[in-house]
């Protein structure tokens, strides 16, 4: 009995602790299982399972909430989980969905490359896969449709907003980019095209003097805007590809006492961004509609399941949000 050496010597209380523990775990699990589920059989017509990149970001939370509401209205049940940006976790969630025999799987992939084998597993089980916000362009993964913001159109709207401000006077404009993100490349493309078309018309020119990395984040946007001001003290406008970098740029302008000279156009329509627009700190935002994305996914699934034609990509248009919209916005009161 050599092997007994390392183990505990006292067995007092073992039984009691063991049963207490068992009861505790079972009670906890029973409680949540019964409290949460609407019956494990799902909705009357089936289950739509959703694994989102994260639920910490309100953008995805809104997608999930509206998807669940629309699913319920159509007689389905939605199972929404967060992958917490962990690809392995997302993979396991999809495996569980497949075993559960759900009717559709909706993903915003944690990684467009690593998600391919995961989607292939769902394909092999004959379950339709939809992606939202983040696409998976690999042809080996079969996806019914990808639903996202029309970033190119949004970029064009941002360009038009810049013309509203600088159209009469012209001036130098800097772009705070995030080149790693395909969505941001499209935003800048649309923006540039509108400005270039405007300049061809003659009259005062809007010059795109620099394009620097704003990191899509407040701190990097702040530093980038400071650098832009050093290079071009007579800057008149900044287009930032999202709200955090736009707000970072605004802070840099305030520090340099140039807030009135330079107009900022952001992108997103996060609450902070909307507040800044209402207070006149930013000129405008093309805003995204995560709520519509959630609803469109369910509609696309129903269409698919009825055998109707579903476009391989569904783009949700953005809408320009200016100070006047902020003053009317009930969410900001």
- Using CB under 8 A as the binding rule, the residues of this chain from 72 to 91 that contact other proteins are 77, 79-82, 84-88, 91
CA atoms within 13 A on the CB side of 44: 4
Nearer to other proteins, 100 or 255 (CB): 100
Cα–Cα dist 30/28, whole Å: 6
Cα–Cα dist 199/188, whole Å: 16
Helix (H, G, I), strand (E, B) or coil at 323: helix
Q: Which positions from 92 through 121 interact with other proteins, judged by CB under 8 A?
A: 92-93, 95-97, 99-101, 103, 110-111, 113-114, 116-118
**CB contact burial 32-56 (16+ within 10 A = b; e otherwise):** eeeeeeeeeebbeebbbbbbbbebe
Q: Which positions from 127 through 186 interact with other proteins, judged by CB under 8 A?
A: 128
In the complex, what is the shortest distance from the CB of residue 93 to other proteins, in angstroms, rounded to a whole number? 6
Residue 15 as a binder of other proteins (CB under 8 A): the answer is yes
* Candidate ranges 122-130, 183-191, 231-239, 265-273; the one touching other proteins (CB under 8 A): 122-130
Q: How far is CA 77 from CA 46, 54, 66, 188, 308, in A?
A: 6, 20, 12, 39, 22
**How many residues line the site for other proteins (CB under 8 A)?**
74
In the complex, what is the shortest distance from the CB of residue 100 to other proteins, in angstroms, rounded to a whole number? 5
Nearer to other proteins, 126 or 203 (CB): 126
H-assigned helices in the chain? 14-36, 58-73, 87-100, 115-124, 151-166, 182-200, 218-231, 243-255, 271-278, 290-305, 323-328
In the complex, what is the shortest distance from the CB of residue 182 to other proteins, in angstroms, rounded to a whole number? 13
Q: Which positions from 25 through 44 interact with other proteins, judged by CB under 8 A?
A: 25-26, 28-30, 32-34, 36-38, 40-42
Residue 214 as a binder of other proteins (CB under 8 A): the answer is no
In the complex, what is the shortest distance from the CB of residue 214 to other proteins, in angstroms, rounded to a whole number? 17
Nearer to other proteins, 87 or 209 (CB): 87
Cα–Cα dist 295/66, whole Å: 6
* Candidate ranges 20-28, 155-163, 226-234, 269-277; the one touching other proteins (CB under 8 A): 20-28
Nearer to other proteins, 83 or 263 (CB): 83
Nearer to other proteins, 65 or 226 (CB): 65
In the complex, what is the shortest distance from the CB of residue 313 to other proteins, in angstroms, rounded to a whole number? 17
Q: Which positions from 232 through 271 interact with other proteins, judged by CB under 8 A?
A: none
Q: Is residue 151 packed enough to be buried (19+ CB in 10 Å), middle (13-18) or exposed (0-12)? A: buried
Q: Which positions from 285 through 304 interact with other proteins, judged by CB under 8 A?
A: 302, 304
Of the candidate residues 6, 139, 312, 330, the single one contacting other proteins (CB under 8 A): 6
State the CB neighbour count (10 A cutoff) for residue 120.
15
Q: What are phi and psi of 265, to 5 degrees?
A: -110, 130
Could you tell me which of 268, 265, 270 has the C-alpha nearest to residue 282? 265
Computed on alpha carbons and rounded to an integer, the radius of gyration of the chain in Å comes to 25
Of the candidate residues 139, 222, 283, 306, the single one contacting other proteins (CB under 8 A): 306
Q: Which positions from 47 through 76 interact with other proteins, judged by CB under 8 A?
A: 47, 55
In the complex, what is the shortest distance from the CB of residue 314 to other proteins, in angstroms, rounded to a whole number? 16
Q: Which residues 6+ apart lie within 8 Å of 240 measured at CB?
A: 175, 176, 214, 221, 246, 248, 249, 264, 265, 266, 267
């Amino acid at each position: 009995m050599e092997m007994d050496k390392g183990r505990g010597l006292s067995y007092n209380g073992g039984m009691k602790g063991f049963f207490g523990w068992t009861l505790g775990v079972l009670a906890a699990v029973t409680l949540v299982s019964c409290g949460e589920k609407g019956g494990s059989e799902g909705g009357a017509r089936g289950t739509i399972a959703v694994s989102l990149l994260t639920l910490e970001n309100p953008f995805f939370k809104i997608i999930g909430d509206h998807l669940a509401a629309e699913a319920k209205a159509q007689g389905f049940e939605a199972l929404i989980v967060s992958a917490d940006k962990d690809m392995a976790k997302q993979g396991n969630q999809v495996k569980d969905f497949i075993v559960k025999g759900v009717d559709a799987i909706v993903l915003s992939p944690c990684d467009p490359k690593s998600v391919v084998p995961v989607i292939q597993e769902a394909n092999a089980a004959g379950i339709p896969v939809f992606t939202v916000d983040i696409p998976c362009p690999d042809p080996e993964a079969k996806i019914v449709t990808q639903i996202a913001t029309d970033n190119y159109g949004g970029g064009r709207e941002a360009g038009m907003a810049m013309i509203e401000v600088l159209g009469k006077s012209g001036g130098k404009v800097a772009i705070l980019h995030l080149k790693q993100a395909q969505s941001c490349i499209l935003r800048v493309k649309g923006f540039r095209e509108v400005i270039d078309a405007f300049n061809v018309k003659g009259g005062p020119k809007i010059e795109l003097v620099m394009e620097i990395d704003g990191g899509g984040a407040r701190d990097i946007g702040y530093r980038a805007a400071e650098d832009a001001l050093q290079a071009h003290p007579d800057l008149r406008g900044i287009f930032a590809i999202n709200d955090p970098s736009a707000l970072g740029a605004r802070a840099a302008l305030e520090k340099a006492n140039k807030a009135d000279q330079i107009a900022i156009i952001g992108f997103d329509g996060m609450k902070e961004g909307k507040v800044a627009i209402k207070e006149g700190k930013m000129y405008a935002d093309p805003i995204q509609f995560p709520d519509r994305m959630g609803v469109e996914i369910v509609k696309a699934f129903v269409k698919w399941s009825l055998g109707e034609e579903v476009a391989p990509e569904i783009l949700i248009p953005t809408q320009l949000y200016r100070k006047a919209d902020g003053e009317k916005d009930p969410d900001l009161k």
